[in-house]
Structure 1
Amino acid sequence: MKINLNDTIIACATKVSRQAISIIRLSGEQSIDIVNKILRNKLEIENKMQVRKLYENNDIIDESLILTFVNGKSFTGENVVEIQCHGGILLTNKIISLLISYGARPALPGEFSQRAYLNGKINLIQAESINNLIDSKNELALKINALNLEGKNNKSLLKIKESLIDLISKIQTSIDYPDYDDVEGSTTEEIQLELTKLKNQVTKILETSKRFNILNNGISTLILGETNVGKSSLLNSLIAEDKAIVTDIEGTTRDIVEGQLNFENFSLNLIDTAGIRNTKDEVEKMGIEKSISLIQTSNIILFVINKGKINYEIYEKIKDKKHIVVLNKVELLSENEIREIQDEFKDLVMVSALKGDIRNLISKIEEQFNNEDLLESEVPVLSNAFHIEMFKTILELLEKCSDNIEQGFTTDLINFDLYEILKILNNLLGIYDADEEVIDTIFRKYCLGK
């Protein structure tokens, strides 16, 4: 479907349901004119709140608070009207239907944010942060997405862009004006040095963003161990609900059971697995195979053990991965039995899942994923998979430039790839005049033509 950006669009900014207030939003040049068609007292064309009675033909249908945004002062950068009417499915839909009949059209999903981006009110990172802010699962994600929405990343990205434009300009000057052979930073050695600096910056952004997204989306946490060590009880205790069936019968859990636990600064995606043992039961075998296959994709493993219930073969598979050894059912063990197990596993965490005593495990997990430093980092944090892929492309292009220099390719070929990187950065930042920026830098910084 082709979008006409000159249309005035309309949507309910709140859920259409029985509630105290519904907010109906219009954006577009004709917003005020269209709303005026259901009013007798016309709206003033100012940035202000106005109370008006709404009419269908000659019948009053509501009295609402109406906010008008003009002269580019709105979220979208267009004329915007927000009608705060009394809530209710029938009333809300009636007002929307009336305004559509007078010339508005229903907004497509994300179209308000799209217009804000196209009108230079937000960039792509800020646009995505709106969704991420709504979907935040923990406090850290909430804070970082709020900072992204505010535009915290912009300064860092603009610095990278400035370095990139400067490098492009040096190369372009040496190509277009060969008489200026003394342009500082235009030798292949100097270009390679600048490329290395840019690669390091981009790599740091990717590493930090990957780290944040694991925390935000949920750390894949595998609960692994032999049968009847209390893995399901541990899952239930962690998420404070009876999600997994718990019995004394070995092999009760035959497939994976999942749950989520949200801490202040991260979230865990918990996976309770089938107990590891030799069995002839085909269904249970399949569950055990699935359990073992999940070892490779997990971010952390809770290896649950008890006396006589330690699978050393499985431990060999996980010992080099991030893991916590959890001694469960400690209430059933003597001090000597506990000490014997502690001698084998130095960082052992002791719990009683059935009694709900898992404080030691909670503390250990929090130690492993304390990530407050992400808030203080000057490195941009990308919270969208598409943006991360864009930066991976940038890194690939920078590496390609370095390789081409080493192989003796001409600098105009290098600049071709650098321009591609500049386009990606401008796309993220909502800026489009890449060529003009380069030309300005060439003439202002290197004083061509005096």
Structure 2
Amino acid sequence: MEQTIVACGTPSAVSALAVIRLSGPRAIEIAGRIFRPVSGRELTSLPGYRASYGEFVSRGERIDEGIVLVLRAPKSYTGEDMAELSCHGNPSIAARLIAACVREGARPAAAGEFTRRAFENGKLDLAQAEAVAELIGAEGSAAASAALARRDGALSREIGEITDALSYAAAELAMWGDYPEEEDSPAVTREGLLCSLEAGRGRLSALCDGYHSGRMLQKGISVAIAGSPNVGKSTLMNRLCGRDRSIVTEIAGTTRDVVEDTVELDGVLLRLLDTAGIRPTGDAVEQIGVLRAKQAVETSDLVLFLLDRSRPFTGEERSLYELVKERPHLVLANKADLPAAKQSFPPPPSVDVEISAGTGEGMEELSRALRRTLGLRLTQDHCLIASERQYSCVHRSMRALDETISALREGVTLDAAGVLLDGAIGPLAELTGRQASEAVLEQVFSHFCVGK
């Protein structure tokens, strides 16, 4: 018989409430052993989705007052009987309640064990289970919306449709190979098969292409503000943050280190990096700042290369642009509120947006340019893959499908093509968990918090 597990589902910190979760065949019984309802009605007699108010006791000692919510299998998160104990959010109270549950026969849950039981009981597939952890860790409203869509099955449905189409083609090939003379065998043609496989390949390719967007949504986008000293990098940083995050003076070299902050753009988290002005310098401290600025440029997802349109473009800035142009970037001409210097910006680089970080001029245009440059696929269904495991599964399937298509074009027999096609179906079954190994499951659920 499956053991009953217990864990705190809320952070171990002082808060208004804490929730202790029990799941398993004895969940409601164990909760009832440490709970005295005001109504006098035993928890074991309650139907699902009913709550009871009372006090928690153990060994004759009153621990706290609170509420117990009863959930009956299979209509619960795990698909098992569950009880959720809500008490005051003092970590010592939560710990005493968990200890009381353990004394009554529960065992402490492992990381992600509640969600793993939901997976094993058919409440979620593996892609949906991963989305639970992504939803908890999402930074920014767009990331949360995308994770919630995956939790609701957007990715699983897309993978399911692709798998069904490939499986249907494989079944036709198998029947044709086993019974080529039967009148009711499907009429399999090389051209028709290629058309079907190429359609599936296109859908897999679209998922792979969206992986970068999915990762950026989940983890946030690093945006380095780079340029020579005194072009307005810190002023732009403060403008984007909506507060004085960086020190602003007219003294060149004020910023000596990378200053970081986060903002949201259309629900997408931007990790802004205000860097030191990049220039030759004999100051040892400033040299470290310049080195870190170059590292930020080389590792960020996007660079905002800032120029001062009120002064001529310099040779130093041209050298700096050679570093910047290798990265996704926007060229911003700052100080649009001042007269422009003659021939300020001979190509390269061409200016993408003119702004005034001081007055706010051009900031809406900058926001639009950021959206275009980042190229985020903020689709309504959020059918994006956001984990390396999922990307690996889709990519392996696509490679196997490429081999199948190439073999068909080169004249391989249709039964041999069926063997190759099986290699494209397997990784998709692994993605949703239909054929996932124990090692894969352990790897996925080990990243969950204990109470989930």
**Is 1:351 matched up with 2:356?**
yes
Residue 424 of structure 1: CA displacement?
2.8
Q: 17, 20, 28: which one pairs with 2:16?
A: 20
> Is the alpha carbon distance of 1:273 and 1:417 closer, same or farther for their aligned partners in structure 2, counting shifts above 3 Å?
farther
* Change over 3 Å in CA distance of 1:252–1:39 after alignment to 2: closer
Corresponding residue to 1:267 among 252, 266, 269: 269
1:81-118 residue CA offsets vs partner (Å, 9 max, x unmatched)? 11122332332221110111111111112111111111
For each residue in 1:371-399, what CA deviation from the matched residue of structure 2 results, as whole angstroms up to 9, or x when unmatched?
A: 7963335x722232321222112112211
Match 1:34 to one of 26, 30, 34: 30
With over 3 angstroms needed to count, the CA separation of the structure-2 counterparts of 1:363 and 1:7, relative to structure 1, is: farther
> Among residues 312, 320, 335, which one is paired with 2:318 in the alignment?
312
Cα deviation for residue 70 of structure 1 reads: 1.6
Q: Report the secondary structure of 1:376's partner residue.
A: coil
3-state secondary structure, aligned to 1:258: strand
* Alignment match of 2:421 (pick from 418, 421, 446): 418
Deviation for aligned residue 1:243: 4.4
CA RMSD, 1 decimal: 3.1
2:115 aligned partner: 113
Match 1:386 to one of 381, 384, 389:
389
With over 3 angstroms needed to count, the CA separation of the structure-2 counterparts of 1:414 and 1:103, relative to structure 1, is farther
Inter-CA distance 402–185: structure 2 relative to 1 (3 Å threshold): farther
CA distance 1:316–1:140, shift in 2 (3 Å): same
- Taking the aligned partners of 1:286 and 1:407, their CA distance within structure 2 comes to 58
1:402 aligns with 2:405: yes
Residue identity matched to 1:257? V
Distance 2:55 2:287 in 1: 69
The residue identity in structure 2 corresponding to 1:326 is: L
Deviates further, 287-296 or 155-164 = 287-296
Native 8 Å contact 2:393 2:430 kept in 1:
no
Counterpart amino acid of residue 36 in structure 1: G
Match of 2:334 in 1: 328
Indicate yes or no: 2:435 matched with 1:429: no
Superposed CA offset, 1:195-236 (max 9, x none)? 211110101112233223324422232212112222233223
Equivalent pair of 1:64/1:84 in contact (CA under 8 Å): yes
Q: Using the TM superposition, give the Cα deviation of residue 80 of structure 1 relative to its aligned residue in structure 2, in angstroms.
A: 0.7
Report how many residues are paired. Answer: 422
Q: Which stretch of structure 1 is more off in the superposition, 203-212 or 311-320? A: 311-320
Deviates more, 1:173-182 or 1:259-268: 173-182
Return the alpha-carbon distance in structure 2 between the equivalents of residues 282 and 411 of structure 1: 69
Asked whether the 8 Å contact 2:210–2:377 carries over to 1, the reply is: no
8 Å CA contact retained: 2:131, 2:147: yes
Deviation at 1:76, TM superposition (A): 0.5
Q: What is residue 155 of structure 2 aligned with on the other side? A: 153
User: Relative to structure 1, is the Cα distance of residues 57 and 201 closer, same or farther in structure 2, using a 3 angstrom cutoff?
Assistant: same
- Contact 2:131 2:148 (8 Å CA) reproduced: yes
Distance across 1 between alignment mates of 2:289 and 2:369: 31
Q: Which moved more, 1:311-320 or 1:47-56?
A: 311-320
Aligned partner of 2:378 in structure 1 is 374
Compute the displacement of 1:10 (Å).
0.5
Mapping of 1:289-304 within 5 angstroms? Answer: 291-292=293-294, 295=297, 297-304=299-306
Corresponding residue of 1:8: 4
Amino acid at match of 2:138: S
> Secondary structure of the equivalent of 1:312?
helix
> CA offset at residue 408 of structure 1?
4.6
Identity %: 29
CA contact 2:18–2:89 (8 Å) conserved in 1: yes
Query: Which has the higher mean CA deviation after the structures are superposed, 113-122 or 268-277?
Result: 268-277
Higher deviation after alignment, 90-99 or 145-154? 145-154
For residue 21 of structure 1, give the secondary structure of its aligned residue in structure 2.
strand
1:81 match: 83
Amino acid at match of 2:333: L
Cα distance between partner residues in 1 of 2:135 and 2:247: 35
Per the TM alignment, residue 182 of structure 1 is displaced from its structure 2 partner at its CA by 7.4
**Structure 2 counterpart of 1:23, which letter?**
V
Provide the secondary structure at the position in 2 that maps to 1:380: coil
2-structure distance, mates of 1:18, 1:299:
37
SS at match of 1:374: coil
| Residue identity matched to 1:13 | G
User: Is the CA contact (8 Å cut-off) linking 1:18 and 1:87 kept in structure 2?
Assistant: yes
Which stretch shows the higher mean deviation, 190-199 or 288-297? 288-297
Aligned AA for 1:22? A
SS across alignment from 1:271: strand
- Distance in 2 (CA, whole Å) between partners of 1:188 and 1:283 is 68
CA shift in 2, pair 1:216/1:429, >3 Å? closer
Question: Contact conserved, 2:19 with 2:84, CA < 8 A, in 1?
Answer: yes
Question: What is the aligned partner in structure 1 of residue 440 from structure 2?
Answer: none
Q: Which amino acid aligns with 1:127?
A: A
2:226 to 224, 227, 248: 224
- More moved, 55-64 vs 126-135: 55-64
1:112-165 Cα shifts (integer Å, max 9, x gaps) = 111111111012222222222233332322222222222233332221121011
> In 1, distance between residues paired with 2:63 and 2:284?
66
8 Å Cα contact 1:351/1:358 also seen in 2: yes
Distance in 2 between the 1:394 and 1:124 partners? Answer: 17
The more displaced of 410-419 and 90-99 is 410-419
Q: 1:39 to 1:221 in 2, by over 3 A?
A: closer
Helix, strand or coil at the partner of 2:379? helix
| Separation of aligned partners in 2, 1:212 and 1:163 | 25
How is 1:140-289 mapped onto 2 (pairs within 5 angstroms)? Answer: 140-180=142-182, 183-184=185-186, 186-281=188-283, 284-285=286-287, 287-288=289-290
**Counterpart of 1:42 in structure 2: which amino acid?**
E
CA distance 1:320–1:86, shift in 2 (3 Å): closer
